[in-house]
Structure 1
Amino acid sequence: MDLLQLRYFQVVARFEHISRAAEELMVAQPSVSRTVARLEAELGTPLFDRQGRRIRLNRYGAVFLRHVERALSELDDGRRALLDARDRGLGRVAIAAETLLTVTRLLGSFRAAYPDADVRLFQADAPEMERRLRAGEVDFCIASQPLTGPGLEAVELVREEVLLAVPAGRRLARRECVTVPETADEPYVTTRPGTWPRALLERLFAAHGLAPLVSCESDEPGASGDMIGAGLGIGLVPAMSRRIGPSAGIAWVHIDAPDCHRDLTLVRHRDAYLSEAAVKFREFTLSRPFMTHRLPDPPARG
């Protein structure tokens, strides 16, 4: 058993697809197949269930994967620790976030305070953030949804109200507060399933036995304001975006729902190595107000 086999197995397990794994690894597909087959032969146990050209990680593979990811993560941490000890800078800190709008000002301030830090930023959804944390590819995730993988710990940065953004001139734009059912006939601008704005939208509607009318679906939550301002529909937008995002042509309306908020958290793997840059980033983020200027509570209805 060697590191190449373990790396190949990890990537194949992630994609459950030999061709996609080969593309990720930038090697020929037969090489990936042979390497995984040799690993299974050495272990004496199949790690995947194969049905024609399709493969699925089986229960033996899932057990083995947990140990492989820990082992590879330790080796990657060792490599990073060695580089940090050799180099004169603060080392690298890697951060993943669902939308870059959330972290732009934070990272700008951090870079100004620590210019020797090597900062890397990735955009990812919740499952991809969990995977990157487990694999040691990032040090922190700034998440708007719970990340609950083994060994992950989260610190709440802020809880902020989520508002209804309405194109100016629409009937709801004249309201201060609306209920979810009152928006049921309106087209929504939102993000794809699995992202936090879509999850919140579906949860709010499901509480009333309804489903939202989705007219526009994107991959970038930060782009919703532009599309709403262009009149493509209404949408859920965090209060932060009212302050730092585009607001021309948009009216902001409170939603009469007790859980219409976003919890923003800083998540890390508790056992992962942190470079000096990563330690400084954590201290920097937790020691300063993070979007704490909140909007007033919704007015009482009636």
Structure 2
Amino acid sequence: MDLPALRTFQVVARHEHISRAAAELRVAQPAVSRTIARLEAGLGVLLFDRQGRSVRLNRYGAAFLRRVERALGELDDARRELADAAGLDQGRVAVAAETLLTLSSLLSAFRAAHPGVEIRLRQSTAEVMRRQLAAREVDFCVASQPLRGAGLRSVVLMEEDVLLAVPVGHPLAGRGRVRLEDVMDEPFVTTRAGHWQRELLDRLFAAAGRTPVVTCEGDEPAATQFLIGAGLGIGLIPALARNETAEAPVHWLRLDAPDCRRTLSLVRRADTYVSTAERHFAAAAVAHFARRGRADH
């Protein structure tokens, strides 16, 4: 049993598919299968139930995975701690967010201040973020909805109003604010289920006993404003985006609805070593969004 075999097992367990695991590991599928077979032979039990190239963790595999993730996590923490102590490098930070546009200006400033730090980005829904933190695939998540789970620590970066964007020329465009009742039958441009914009939209309508009319949904929240500007419908957009994509031809209104706000948080595991690079990133994120929040008021 060696570290490469354990990391191969971890990736196969995450995907529960040999081909996808091999693609991530950048090795041939037969090599992955042989590694898992040798590991099982050494342990004396099968870790997966086979279904062609798809595999499913059985109860032995699930128990083993918990120990493997703990052990590999400790080794990764040790490597980063020793690198910090010896000054061997300037580190790496992996970050997930629902839309990467939220991070663009932060990352520009951070890279200028810390050019030696490697940044890895993932675009993920809240549910995927929880899994990525659990598997230590990312160090931080910039989340627009609560990430609930044991062992997670959150810091609020900013709170902001969520506005209603309508196309220029829309009958509501001349108004400063509207009630939810005024837009019940309007077509909405939004994200797929799992993204915070869709969660907020569904929650607001459910409180009124209705279901929104969704005419366009996707996985890129940053595209919503431009699709609204193209006349496909209306939609909920955070106030922050009003300044970041000001060229989109939309009109902004206040929606008189309770809790029509977004709380942006920086989330990490509470049980992992925080490297120097990660401490710098967390401090930069807090300072950056504090400035953005002051600028918007």
Q: Quickly name the TM-score band, shorter chain normalised.
A: 0.7 to 0.9
Q: Which amino acid aligns with 2:292?
A: M
Matched, 1:258 2:283: no
**Structure 1 residue 143, shift from structure 2 partner:** 1.0
Q: Could you tell me which residue of structure 1 aligns to residue 30 of structure 2?
A: 30
**Structure 1 residue 160, shift from structure 2 partner:** 1.3
Contact 2:178 2:254 in 1 (8 A): yes
Contact 2:19 2:53 in 1 (8 A): no
* Distance in 1 separating the partners of 2:82 and 2:54: 40
Q: Which amino acid aligns with 1:145?
A: Q
Q: Structure 2: state its 5+ residue gaps.
A: none
Q: Which amino acid aligns with 2:236?
A: L
* Distance in 2 separating the partners of 1:75 and 1:274: 13
Q: Could you tell me which residue of structure 2 aligns to residue 292 of structure 1?
A: 293
User: 1:213-242 deviations in whole A, cap 9, x for unaligned?
Assistant: 222222211111111111121111001011
2:292 alignment partner, SS class: coil
Matched, 1:66 2:66: yes
**Structure 1 residue 85, shift from structure 2 partner:** 4.5
Q: Which amino acid aligns with 2:162?
A: V
User: 1:158-188 deviations in whole A, cap 9, x for unaligned?
Assistant: 1211111100111222333333343232221
Alignment RMSD: 2.5
Deviates more, 1:28-37 or 1:256-265: 28-37
User: 1:6-30 deviations in whole A, cap 9, x for unaligned?
Assistant: 2122112211222211222222223
Q: Could you tell me which residue of structure 2 aligns to residue 299 of structure 1?
A: none
Contact 2:163 2:237 in 1 (8 A): yes
User: 1:72-118 deviations in whole A, cap 9, x for unaligned?
Assistant: 12222233334444556532223222112211222222233334433
Q: Could you tell me which residue of structure 2 aligns to residue 272 of structure 1?
A: 272
Q: Structure 1: state its 5+ residue gaps.
A: 297-302
Contact 1:91 1:277 in 2 (8 A): yes
Q: Could you tell me which residue of structure 2 aligns to residue 17 of structure 1?
A: 17
Contact 1:157 1:290 in 2 (8 A): no
**Structure 1 residue 287, shift from structure 2 partner:** 4.2
Contact 1:162 1:262 in 2 (8 A): yes
**Structure 1 residue 43, shift from structure 2 partner:** 3.2
Q: Could you tell me which residue of structure 1 aligns to residue 151 of structure 2?
A: 151
Contact 2:240 2:296 in 1 (8 A): no
1:173 alignment partner, SS class: coil
Sort the Cα spacing of 1:281 and 1:186 in 2 relative to 1 into closer, same or farther, 3 A: same
Q: Alignment length, in residue pairs?
A: 296
Q: Could you tell me which residue of structure 1 aligns to residue 136 of structure 2?
A: 136
1:253 alignment partner, SS class: strand
Sort the Cα spacing of 1:273 and 1:185 in 2 relative to 1 into closer, same or farther, 3 A: same
* Distance in 1 separating the partners of 2:95 and 2:283: 14
Q: Could you tell me which residue of structure 1 aligns to residue 124 of structure 2?
A: 124
TM-score with structure 1 length normalisation? 0.86
Equivalence map 1:106-121=2 (5 Å):
106-121=106-121
Sort the Cα spacing of 1:233 and 1:27 in 2 relative to 1 into closer, same or farther, 3 A: same
**Structure 1 residue 154, shift from structure 2 partner:** 0.8
Sort the Cα spacing of 1:156 and 1:59 in 2 relative to 1 into closer, same or farther, 3 A: farther
Equivalence map 1:187-266=2 (5 Å):
187-266=187-266
**Structure 1 residue 54, shift from structure 2 partner:** 4.0
